[in-house]
Amino acid sequence: MKVFEFKSPSGNPTALIFNNDKPVFWANYWLINQHPTTRPKSLITYSYDLCLVILFFQYKKIDYIRRFSNGSFLTNGELTKLRSHLTETKSTLENRIAGIGIINPKKVSNSTYDRRCGIAKKFLGYIAEELIIGTNKDKRNSLSDFRERLKNQLRSYNSDNENIVQPWTNEDYIKMDLTIKSNSKNREKFLVHRDLVVFHLLRESGIRNSELLGIRVAGFQRTNRGYITTKIEASTDMNLDPRTSPATVKTFNRELKMSDSLWGLIERYIIERKKIKASIKHPFLIIGISGQPLSNDAVGKIFRTLSEQIELKITPHSLRHSWACNFILNEYEKASFVTGREKERIISNALSVLRVQMGWSLKSSMPEHYAKYAFQKIGNERLLSEDRSLHNKLSKDVSDGAQSND
């Protein structure tokens, strides 16, 4: 099972799945029919994820086309086994098919497993709908039941626990900043400076990794109000981006405010960037020492190194998540001290700002997800505070009573 990556006529990276040099029709059909706004990098990732589903059908000798056409879908037992295989690497499953024994099968990360579950659910639900022959009531009921079982059986780690992972604190950020700066002893000063720009842009703005890589040198401007903004916008000409996976904006273009301290860091970086001759060949802000624009993988390497040094798992997404958590917590804290329309105004405005800042579509429920987190966290902290006050009062009363008895 192979994934062939190539560029479409429009210059966008894409991929197709082949098995024994033959295209896997339904997997490729599903990929081609993805929503136009799906990031090219995501399509390639989906291709590798779908390989696991197709390999599972091979391993279990399941003729899914015939079964789905007859309205006989996967059983709960088969879905459970599929879920187990989604935790493994592609090479592990290929070895199983080849009859090679696996002593210590390699497992993928929880986030990779979660993504695979999501892709498997969408793909299986889609082809079940496409392949089913006839519209009689029994088959439609069978399809509806299968969709429900997909939801229950292919559960992600995150769906089992609705609690959001705790955000980074200011103390964490200071530690990360100092760790990056400490690398100046054994790294090029330009690269340390660049890593600081990458870290603080992600930390302060909450943007996606792919959006960071699309920021242009000319994308900053000072407004009439005196502050600096940066443009988060999709490229209108993919040919300007020499990367295999061009930078993309997932939902919509926007302009975000930044602090003067961050702008000062970026301004000094731009001066150093100009000294690298190859950097003039493209407009992108974040580059490597060669002058070429940085890739997603290169940014991932920056954070893997930082994670090893600090002994904490730090990713661009964790910084995005932390921005959202800390912002909504701060706004809900403000709202907790007022009532009525003023409270509603603060919360409504906070959710609107959060949606725009994070680049979530109007259909996305993510703002409400974070709002629920803030409401529960602030409520729990107040309950704990009241419990501590009551405990201290009772302890004092007991102590005073004991002294009076003496």
Per-residue pLDDT of the chain (406 residues; tens, 9 = 90+): 788 887 777 777 788 888 888 888 888 888 888 766 677 777 888 888 898 899 988 888 999 888 888 888 888 888 888 888 888 888 887 887 777 766 667 777 777 888 888 889 999 999 888 888 766 777 778 888 888 888 888 876 544 444 456 789 999 999 999 999 999 888 899 999 999 999 999 999 999 999 999 999 999 999 999 999 999 998 888 788 888 888 888 889 999 999 999 999 999 999 999 999 999 999 999 999 999 999 988 999 999 999 999 988 899 999 999 999 999 989 988 888 888 889 889 999 999 999 999 999 998 888 988 888 787 776 655 545 555 555 565 555 545 555 555 5
Domain ranges of the chain: 2-160, 170-314, 328-405
CATH label, 170-314, candidates 3.30.1330.10, 2.40.50.320, 2.60.40.1180, 1.10.443.10: 1.10.443.10
Look at residues 188, 193, 247 and name the one whose alpha carbon lies nearest to residue 219: 247
Burial class (CB in 10 A: 0-12, 13-18, 19+), 10: exposed
Residue 232's H or E segment, with its range, is strand 228-232
Q: Residue 170 is encoded by which pair of tokens?
A: 């200011």
The phi, psi pair for 350, rounded to 5°, reads: -60, -45
Indicate the angle between helix axes 340-358 and 366-405, nearest 10 degrees: 130
Report the alpha-carbon distance of residue 181 to residue 310 in Å, rounded.
13
Report the alpha-carbon distance of residue 81 to residue 76 in Å, rounded.
9
β-bridge pairing 254-258 and 220-222? unpaired
